[in-house]
C-alpha cells in the first residue's frame, strides 16, 4: 500500500466576508457573512475560542446550519473552516437569536 507523505503546508480555507458587532469590550462578534452570493444570517454564536494566531467562532444560522469561522487577526481576514448542514428538514428547536446592539 502506497502512502503519500503528510504535507506540512497549512490547509487553505475559503475566505468569507464577515460583518461583526463590536461589544462593550471592543471584541468583534460575527453577525452575518457572505459565502459566494449567499448572505448567511447568524442566529447564535454557539462557542468561541482563541488560538495563538486566530479567533474561532462556532455559529448557527437561522436555518439551523452550523459553521466554524476563523478570524486571522494579523492578516485581518475571515475563513470558513467547517460546515454542518441541518439534515432533518427543519425539525427540532429553533435557534436562539443574538441580542440586538444595545446602543
| Model pLDDT, residue 17 | 93
Beta strand 54-61 pairing with 28-35: unpaired
Q: How many CB atoms lie within 10 A of CB 64?
A: 19
- In this model, does residue 90 exceed pLDDT 60? no
Q: Are 34 and 61 in contact (CB under 8 A)?
A: no
Give residue-wise pLDDT tens across range 1-59.
556 565 555 567 889 999 998 776 666 899 999 988 999 999 999 999 999 989 999 99
pTM of the shown model: 0.70
C-alpha cell at 102: 444595545
Amino acid at each position: 500500500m502506497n502512502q503519500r507523505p503528510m504535507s506540512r503546508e497549512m490547509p487553505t480555507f475559503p475566505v468569507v466576508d464577515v460583518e461583526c458587532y463590536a461589544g462593550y469590550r471592543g471584541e468583534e462578534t460575527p453577525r452575518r457573512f457572505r459565502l459566494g452570493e449567499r448572505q448567511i444570517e447568524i442566529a447564535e454564536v454557539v462557542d468561541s475560542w482563541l488560538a495563538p494566531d486566530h479567533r474561532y467562532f462556532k455559529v448557527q444560522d437561522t436555518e439551523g446550519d452550523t459553521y466554524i469561522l476563523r478570524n486571522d487577526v494579523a492578516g485581518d481576514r475571515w475563513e470558513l473552516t467547517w460546515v454542518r448542514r441541518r439534515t432533518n428538514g427543519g425539525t427540532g428547536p429553533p435557534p436562539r437569536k443574538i441580542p440586538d446592539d444595545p446602543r
